[in-house]
Homo-oligomer: A and B are copies of this chain.
Amino acid sequence: MTNMLNDFLSTRKQKIEEALPLYIKELQTPKSLQESMIYSLEAGGKRLRPILVLAVLHTYNKPEELGLATACAIEMIHTYSLIHDDLPCMDDDDLRRGKPTNHKVFGEAIAVLAGDGLLTQSFALIANDPTCSAEQKLRLISELVKASGAEGMVGGQVADMEGEAKKLSIEELQSIHENKTAKLLAFSIIAGAILAEAPEEDINKLREFSYHVGIAFQIRDDILDLEGNQDKLGKPVGSDTVNEKTTYPSLLTMQGAKTKLEDHITKAKQLIKSLSVPSELLEQMCDLIAKRDH
């Protein structure tokens, strides 16, 4: 990882992590609910989605402050989805990033409601953002619903559950990941472009770019589940095999999955190089996703 990228990631991660809990601390709400929401917001993670919003603004030479509220809204949605996914009736996970999951600490009822609270609040972050226009905010909200709701992440989660222990085709697997993971990653990039007032032609290219990055992200996830380091991942490896999940390596062999990962990264880079602005930072983030070890 280059020094420039390393520096960008660590400074922006800090900025996001400072801002995130403030949106919840200011709320008039029961203490237990507030603590539960903040617990999961502060439970770590790469903050890849919110950093992408800032990276796109940086690419277009616009103040990154324009993206802070939207970046935090996306991280709240990502966090709520992890809380609900970990519930006993879903994946029934006790640990997340090496820490007890929300319902293990606060109980299931509070965990459900903390997720509901974070999801709801995320829309206020955008609606009340004083740094952008009414039209931008409404476009962001409309795109965020598509990326995170029944037509995106929530629908992908249902398809993923229903596809478990079933032999899926590569098209079915791809569609699940597109909805479950790629659409919210893509929204992070597109949100940055909307806020940067990028040309519509660039927004279309960034949408296609995001698609390839999102699929690459998921292939890397599947590879890490087989080849990763348990300590770095903060979760046990090999769980997909135990759960008989269809993965890219199980469908394509490990070598096939790695080749497919390279293909998507190559296509993503071609697209990003054709933008109206230099895109070195986004290219480097693309490589990071392809080579990440956790």
Contact = CB atoms under 8 A, between A and B. Distances in A.
Interface of A: 24, 27-30, 32-34, 37, 80, 84, 87-90, 107-110, 112-113, 115-117, 119-121, 123-124, 127-128, 134-135, 137-138, 141-142, 145-146, 148-151, 154-155, 157-159, 161-162
A159 B115 contact: no
Given A119-B119, A128-B142, 12 more contacts: A32-B162, A33-B158, A80-B116, A84-B116, A109-B161, A113-B154, A116-B149, A119-B120, A120-B145, A134-B134, A134-B135, A134-B138
A127 B155 contact: no
Contact of A137 (B27, B34, B117, B138): B138
A157 B127 contact: no
A158 B113 contact: yes
Given A109-B89, A154-B33, A149 B134 contact: no
B87 A112 contact: yes
A27 B115 contact: no
Contact of A124 (B80, B120, B134, B146): B146
Contacts of A37: 150
> Copies of this chain, how many?
2
Contacts of A30: 155, 158-159, 162
A84 B109 CA distance: 9
A155 B124 contact: no
22 contacts: A27-B151, A27-B155, A28-B151, A29-B150, A29-B151, A29-B155, A32-B158, A33-B150, A33-B155, A84-B113, A90-B112, A112-B112, A113-B154, A116-B116, A116-B149, A120-B154, A121-B150, A123-B123, A127-B141, A127-B142, A134-B138, A138-B138
A141 B123 contact: yes
Contacts of A112: 84, 87, 89-90, 112
Contacts of A127: 138, 141-142, 145
Top 6 nearest A-B pairs (CB, nearest first) are: A120-B149, A89-B108, A134-B134, A124-B145, A117-B150, A29-B150
Contacts of A146: 124
A63 to B, nearest CB: 21
Contacts of A88: 89
A192 to B, nearest CB: 19
Contacts of A90: 109, 112
Contacts of A123: 123, 141, 145
Given A108-B89, A145-B124, A24 B150 contact: yes
A120 B148 contact: yes
Given A108-B89, A119-B119, A123-B123, A113 B157 contact: yes
Contacts of A151: 27-29
